[in-house]
Amino acid sequence: MPTEAATPRLIDRFGRQITYVRLSVTDRCDLRCVYCMAEDMTFLPRAQVLTLDEIALVGEAFAGLGVRKFRLTGGEPLRRNNVMHLVRRLGRLDGLGELVMTTNGTRLSELADDLRAAGVRRINVSLDSLQPERFRHLTRVGDLATVLQGIEAARSAGFERIKLNAVILRNRNHDEVLDLARFALERDMDISFIEEMPLGVTGVEDRFEAYYSSEAILDDLAGHFDLVASTETTGGPSRYYRAAGYRGRIGLISPHSHNFCADCNRVRVTAEGKLLLCLGQENAIDLRRVVRANPGDVGALQQAITEGIRNKPQGHEFAVGGQPVILRRMNMTGG
Ligand code: SAM
Ligand code: SF4
């Protein structure tokens, strides 16, 4: 057994230990959410995307460096062929504390039980509206009923926690904050409200107009719930509130109004194997090149990762209004 001192750890120049990796398993998606994608999308050629075995190897490398939590995301992770093969492999990794997923829910009816059985403990489902027409408008093509069935399937599958994620945009869905909160809390689910981040050109033309702050969301909720700020953290950028009388929590993810960089414990790996050191910056390490030059070699990956982490930037540089500072869209980044 390795001693505590001998366990490798990934620590950056600012003393932050990296324990959490978000793995994007595909850039593709069956939806086209207005804040995430353009209507017409060109996706990566298959050869540029890591194979499921390559992603599993990257996961193994990180787990061996002390990473304790993986989130599978995308694009839509459940739209990747045979994704359950990857989920099962990651679920068996030694020492992994948490395997979680963020999904749009369109395939959860089929896959929720398999995900739970493979070791996924918590799941986040994106849901921006409870109104069918508006849901279709926001996702451009989505069917609300399919996602609601998926959420029910997840509730029956026995995940430890289900969290809804809602991106709130002024004049598009900001009047649903209360309905969405009630929907989640009455079903013992958490909900996080997310401020839109200016990533890529997507068709929400004026992002300053669309911006709806976490403080406005809190105001919307305050008259209806007895909210108490919670000190709990999931190691992420959410600030949580407890609502008296409910098990579920309300989270606010506020990249604009609250800078969360000082506690950042995470990095991202894109579908093409770029290790992104910060959501809001362009620095990246090409893990695909490393894994393809050294097939099956976890050590080579670990060396590239360890060297790369030293360059993790201190913080993000988002701006509201004007041009997006980052040209990658969220489906490329792995939300
Ligand atoms: N397809 C899955 C889903 O929608 O849950 C996983 C990937 S998606 C990129 C992950 C999360 O990022 C979703 O909750 C989505 O709402 C959020 N997201 C996408 N684009 C965003 C943006 N520009 N600003 C803030 N959140 C965004
Ligand atoms: Fe697809 Fe998720 Fe982006 Fe929506 S937010 S387009 S579901 S990847």
**pLDDT for residue 269:** 96
pLDDT in tens, 258-277: 555 667 788 899 999 999 87
**pLDDT for residue 281:** 58
- Quickly state the pLDDT bin for 318 (edges 50, 70, 90): very low
- Give residue 192's identity as a one-letter amino acid code: S
- Quickly state the pLDDT bin for 6 (edges 50, 70, 90): low
For the chain, what are the domain ranges? 20-333
Q: What percent of the chain has pLDDT over 90?
A: 68
Q: Are 98 and 122 in contact (CB under 8 A)?
A: yes
Please provide the average confidence, as pLDDT, over all residues in the chain. 87
**Mean of the pLDDT values across residues 130-157?**
98
Write the DSSP symbol of residue 64. Answer: H
- Quickly state the pLDDT bin for 235 (edges 50, 70, 90): low
Query: In angstroms, rounded to a whole number, what is the distance separating the alpha carbons of residues 296 and 298?
Result: 6
Nearest Cα to Cα of residue 61 among 268, 304, 279 = 304
Query: Ligand 2 within 6 A of 29 CB?
Result: yes
- Give residue 3's identity as a one-letter amino acid code: T
- Quickly state the pLDDT bin for 49 (edges 50, 70, 90): very high
- Give residue 5's identity as a one-letter amino acid code: A
**Mean of the pLDDT values across residues 142-146?**
98
pLDDT in tens, 76-101: 999 999 999 999 999 999 888 899 99
**pLDDT for residue 282:** 63
Q: Of the bound ligands, which one is closest to the alpha carbon of residue 334?
A: 1
* CATH H-level superfamily of 20-333: Aldolase class I (3.20.20.70)
Q: Of the bound ligands, which one is closest to the alpha carbon of residue 139?
A: 2
Q: Are 133 and 173 in contact (CB under 8 A)?
A: no
**pLDDT for residue 320:** 43
**pLDDT for residue 181:** 98
**pLDDT for residue 41:** 93
DSSP bridge pairs for 102? 124
Choose the residue to mutate in 72, 104, 135, 196 for probing ligand 2, maximizing ligand atoms within 8 Å of C-beta. Answer: 104
**Dist. CA 36 → ligand 1 center (Å):** 6
**Dist. CA 209 → ligand 2 center (Å):** 21
Q: Are 280 and 325 in contact (CB under 8 A)?
A: yes
Question: Which ligand 1 atom is at minimum distance from the Cα of 128?
Answer: 16
Question: Which ligand 2 atom is at minimum distance from the Cα of 331?
Answer: 8
Beta pairing class for 266-269 and 249-253: unpaired
Question: Which ligand 2 atom is at minimum distance from the Cα of 76?
Answer: 8
Element (H, E) at 98: strand 98-103
Q: Are 78 and 102 in contact (CB under 8 A)?
A: no
**Mean of the pLDDT values across residues 26-51?**
95
- Quickly state the pLDDT bin for 310 (edges 50, 70, 90): confident
Most confidently modeled range among 7-11, 314-318, 329-333: 7-11
**pLDDT for residue 200:** 63
Q: Which residues have any ligand 1 atom within 6 Å of their CB?
A: 29, 35-36, 73-74, 76, 102-104, 126, 165, 167, 194, 196-197, 199, 330-331, 335
Residue found under tokens 């003393």: 15
* Per-residue pLDDT at 328 exceeds 70: no
Q: List all residues 6 or more positions away from 52 whose beta carbon is below 8 Å from its beta carbon.
A: 25, 80, 82, 83, 85, 86
- Quickly state the pLDDT bin for 233 (edges 50, 70, 90): low
Query: In angstroms, rounded to a whole number, what is the distance separating the alpha carbons of residues 30 and 144?
Result: 13
Choose the residue to mutate in 26, 34, 36 for probing ligand 2, maximizing ligand atoms within 8 Å of C-beta. Answer: 36
**Dist. CA 245 → ligand 2 center (Å):** 32
What token pair was written down for 27?
A: 């850039």
**Mean of the pLDDT values across residues 47-59?**
98
**Mean of the pLDDT values across residues 174-185?**
98
**Dist. CA 335 → ligand 1 center (Å):** 5
**pLDDT for residue 119:** 95
**Dist. CA 1 → ligand 1 center (Å):** 39
Q: Are 333 and 29 in contact (CB under 8 A)?
A: no
* Per-residue pLDDT at 150 exceeds 60: yes
**pLDDT for residue 264:** 75
Q: Considering the entire predicted model, what is its pTM?
A: 0.90
**pLDDT for residue 293:** 98
* Per-residue pLDDT at 4 exceeds 60: no
What token pair was written down for 105?
A: 């829910």
